[in-house]
Structure 1
Amino acid sequence: MEVKARAPGKIILSGEHAVVHGSTAVAASIGLCTYVSLQVPPSNENDDRLTLQLKDMALEFSWPIGRIKEALSSLGGPFPSTPTSCSAESFKLILALIEEHNILEAKLSLASGVSAFLWLYTSILGFKPATVVVTSDLPLGSGLGSSAALCVAFSAALLACSDTVNIDMKQEGWLVFGESELELLNKWAFEGEKIIHGKPSGIDNTVSTYGNMIKFRSGNLTRIKSSMPLKMLITNTKVGRNTKALVAGVSERTLRNPDAMSSVFNAVDSISKELANVIQTPASDDLSITAKEEKLEELMEMNQGLLQCMGVSHASIETVLRTTLKYKLASKLTGAGGGGCVLTLLPTLLSGTIVDKVIAELESCGFQCLIAGIGGNGAEICFSASS
């Protein structure tokens, strides 16, 4: 049997950085996904290994099940219905298994992702042989939630193979989990994210699990649904950034200029709330959709100006802003800033010719351009008989 799972990446539509200081922020799923295929060999086959293939990186990790059992049997899995944190001791045992593969220095950052996989696999399915293949539309480390999408897709495929969730395997096409299953899936994905990031907010995995959009403030998440189709051009500047340093920089600026920065954060809070209202209010015809898109463009531009006030823009981001402004398109950075990705709203009535011109100009600067629908489905699974 083969189970496939897919989980979307995410963008922050408004409120990044300010959310750390008590403002509202809005995040949305994007139509770019990470895919996980999990194939369990028939019991009569002699395949007794757990293999993980990271196709986009041409990397493969493989362990005899006996070796995994020997190394990790003290962890006491599987416990699929009880999401559990990976302790420091467990992490050391898992890391020892990964180190047997002699990962190249350049790929060392992958160790945390592979660790998350081994923890989720043994916790949910125990010590069974399988081949797991990962592919993704999402660029790594660019602020689009690639690690959360990976943990959600892993968890979805593993739970679908366990006896914990109730899903009709005979149904064809992509299927969604029920509400209680989604909650379990989200909790497991969060445990994976903790292995990769230490102290994640939980926003990325929640958006990837449930899809659509989320409004969040001071740890409270509210799921919201878009009433209009939204399409974005996502420009990856390919400039790496240090999120911790950028967050610290905003905090330092706030200490130096408390009154001014308080006004900035209040303004961002208002923008996020207004943006959520615009997105949720039904649009009756093309005219009202255009009016709503114009309102969103204005809110995005205002939010970008405030992010510049916080000191988190970058020369590469400004290049994208200048380029899209030439074509009267609104853009803002998404996530930490200092590089990373920039969002540009593509209005419904915008001609394809203009989009092509903008992309050509941005790509000539060395940037990567992706077009994605915003606020679509969350995690989904699909069953097929092994070929």
Structure 2
Amino acid sequence: MEVKARAPGKIILAGEHAVVHGSTAVAACIDLCTYVTLSFPADSDMNDKLILHLKDLNLEFTWPIERITAALPNSTSSIPSSPLSCSNETVKALSVLVEDLDIPEAKIGLASGITAFLWLYISIQGYRSGKVVITSELPLGSGLGSSAALCVALSAALLALSNSVNVDVSQKDWLTFSEDDLDLVNKWAFEGEKIIHGRPSGIDNTVSTYGNMIKFKSGELTRLKSNMSLKMLITNTRVGRNTKALVAGVTERAIRHPNAMNSVFKAVDFISNELASIIESPANDEIVVTGIEEKLEELMEMNQGLLQCMGVSHASIETVLRTTLKYKLTSKLTGAGGGGCVLTLLPTLLSGLIVDKVTTELEACGFQCLSAGIGGKGVQISFSDTS
């Protein structure tokens, strides 16, 4: 039996940075996914090995099972239904297994993701031979939740071939877990995210697991249900950014100008809550949908202006804003800013010719453009018989 899982990436529609200071933010999944295929090959050459194939990067790593058991003699797979945090001692032991690999210097950033992979695999499947193949439509390190999508898809695939969830393996179409099983997937994925990021908010893995949209404020997450199809052009500026430095910069600005910045954060809170309310409002016909899209554009524009007030824009982001504005399209940065990705709302009635033109112009600047539906389904799995 082989299982394939797919988990979507995410965007922040409103509220980034301000959420750190008590404001509301809204996040949504996108229909660009990470795919994980898990199998337990009967081939004798594959016995007693754990293989990880990163197909997009043309990298494959192999660990003898005996090497894993020697490094982690006290690990257990008896409680996949009860996620536990990875201890510091286990992280150190896993790091030794990762150091055994010949990871190219240019890809050394993969180490934390591989560590999370090993821990999730061993925790849920134990010391079992297997092969995991990973592909993704999400650019790495661009703020679109690629690490969370990996942890969610991996957790889903591993749990699907365990006794901890109830799934119909005879079904060959894409399936969604029950609500309780989704909760379990999300808890495991969050533990994987902690290995990669240290102290993640849990927002990325939650959106990837459950899909659609969520509103969050001061640690409280509320799931939202969109009543219309939204489409965005996502422009990856390919400019790397230091998220911690950007967050610290906003905090320092708030210390220097407390009254002004508190007003900015309060305004963002209003924008996020209004955006969430609009998204959940009825969208019965084309005229109503157009009206909703126009309101969303205005809120995006206001949010972008406030993000500029926080000092997290960048020359590359401003280039995207100017370019899309020429075509009367509205854009805002998503995530940390300082580079990263920019969202451009593509109205329902917008001509495909316009989309092609703006995409061509943005790509001529060296940017990467991705078209994505917003607020769709979360993690899903499918099975196939390999016998």
| Amino acid in structure 1 at the alignment position of 2:157 | A
| Amino acid in structure 2 at the alignment position of 1:383 | F
Q: Deviations over 1:339-378 (max 9, x none)?
A: 0000000000000000000000000000000000000000
Alignment correspondent of 1:48: 48
Alignment correspondent of 2:28: 28
Percent identity between the two aligned chains: 72
- The answer to whether structure 1 residue 196 and structure 2 residue 196 are counterparts is yes
CA distance in 2, matches of 1:200, 1:102: 28
Contact 1:235 1:369 survives alignment (8 Å): yes
- The answer to whether structure 1 residue 297 and structure 2 residue 313 are counterparts is no
CA distance in 2, matches of 1:296, 1:170: 43
CA distance in 2, matches of 1:361, 1:271: 30
Secondary structure in structure 1 of the residue aligned to 2:74: helix
Counterparts of 1:134-283 in structure 2 under 5 Å? 134-283=134-283
CA distance in 2, matches of 1:134, 1:78: 25
Contact 1:4 1:37 survives alignment (8 Å): yes
| Amino acid in structure 2 at the alignment position of 1:245 | A
Q: Comparing 41-50 with 188-197, which one deviates more in the overlay?
A: 41-50
Number of residues paired by the alignment? 387
Alignment correspondent of 1:99: 99
Q: Deviations over 1:3-38 (max 9, x none)?
A: 000000000000000000000000000000000000
- Residue 75 of structure 1 deviates from its aligned partner by 2.1
CA distance in 1, matches of 2:149, 2:169: 23
- Residue 257 of structure 1 deviates from its aligned partner by 0.4
Contact 2:247 2:336 survives alignment (8 Å): yes
CA distance in 2, matches of 1:14, 1:217: 12
CA distance in 2, matches of 1:45, 1:380: 30
| 1:46–1:215 CA distance, 2 compared to 1 (3 A) | closer
Contact 2:211 2:378 survives alignment (8 Å): yes
| Amino acid in structure 1 at the alignment position of 2:35 | Y
| Amino acid in structure 2 at the alignment position of 1:286 | E
CA distance in 2, matches of 1:344, 1:17: 19
CA distance in 1, matches of 2:379, 2:135: 15
CA distance in 2, matches of 1:44, 1:163: 25
Alignment correspondent of 1:320: 320
Q: Deviations over 1:299-346 (max 9, x none)?
A: 000000000000000000000000000000000000000000000000
- Residue 104 of structure 1 deviates from its aligned partner by 2.6
Secondary structure in structure 1 of the residue aligned to 2:73: helix
Alignment correspondent of 2:64: 64
- Residue 105 of structure 1 deviates from its aligned partner by 2.4
CA distance in 2, matches of 1:171, 1:25: 37
Q: Comparing 41-50 with 22-31, which one deviates more in the overlay?
A: 41-50
CA distance in 1, matches of 2:81, 2:243: 33
| Amino acid in structure 2 at the alignment position of 1:249 | G
CA RMSD, aligned part only?
A: 1.1
- Residue 45 of structure 1 deviates from its aligned partner by 7.6
TM-score where L is the length of structure 2: 0.98
Alignment correspondent of 1:349: 349
- Residue 276 of structure 1 deviates from its aligned partner by 0.4
CA distance in 1, matches of 2:12, 2:160: 29
- Residue 46 of structure 1 deviates from its aligned partner by 6.1
Alignment correspondent of 2:358: 358
Task: List runs of 5+ in structure 1 lacking aligned partners.
Answer: none
| Amino acid in structure 1 at the alignment position of 2:170 | K
